[in-house]
Amino acid sequence: MPVDNKIEVAGVKEALAELNKTQKKLRRAITVEYKEIMQPTVSKARNLVPTDAPLSGFNRAWTPNGGQGSVLPFQGGGQARAPRLPTAREINFPGGRRQYGNWLKWQAGLNAYISGKRPRTIGNYTRNLAAFGIKWQGPAAVLFDTSGQANTPQGRQMVSALTAKYGPPSRVMWRAYQQTDQDVQNELKELVRKIMRSVNEAVR
């Protein structure tokens, strides 16, 4: 389950789908431009990712009741690998080279994306409306970033410790977005105008 922050703009998904059919090169360029726009937010979010297990308990194994897989121990996520030769940062990194690799992996799951999923309506609820998003994937990311309530004494203790050390949720995604939202919003508006202009020209 990803941690998401999304901006919804009506009609953009349809426009992107049209460009994907008629101007694939432009459509790919739009993805590149969008990721460049979101890079300041992604960078700030990655800098907020803890360099070690957020709490000592994150190093222990934990699978939720009824869960399909383990959430903990903290082992990172994504596909990044530690460099073969140690770097100066790696040598001085808290926890050493192995923890440096885990930190890189945890960061690797944090990226900006454009959604190509078609909206689906189930009852009164419609999914997949967002065209642009930024997500931090992985169950440990969700646990760390969004935990704010719990139903058990152990869970409440964890939430209390996370909040005392890192602040209230969202501890990474929303905080990073708030620090860059004005510039991001302005550039996204211009990108949307570009998309709609391109589609109108293609239709004409």
Q: Are 144 and 171 in contact (CB under 8 A)?
A: yes
Residue 86 has, within 13 A of its CA and on its CB side, a CA count of 11
Q: Residue 2: what are its φ and ψ, rounded to 5°?
A: -85, 155
DSSP assignment letter at 11: T
C-alpha of 141 from chain center: 9
Domain ranges of the chain: 3-62+110-203
Number of Cβ atoms within 10 Å of the Cβ of 58? 20
- Global confidence as pTM: 0.75
Position 1 scores a pLDDT of: 45
Residue closest to 171 by CA, chosen among 204, 143, 202: 143
Those residues of the chain that have pLDDT short of 50 are: 1, 7-9, 76-85
Q: Where are the alpha helices (DSSP H) in the chain?
A: 12-22, 24-48, 88-92, 96-108, 139-146, 153-166, 173-203
Position 78 scores a pLDDT of: 36
Q: Are 109 and 78 in contact (CB under 8 A)?
A: yes
Position 4 scores a pLDDT of: 57
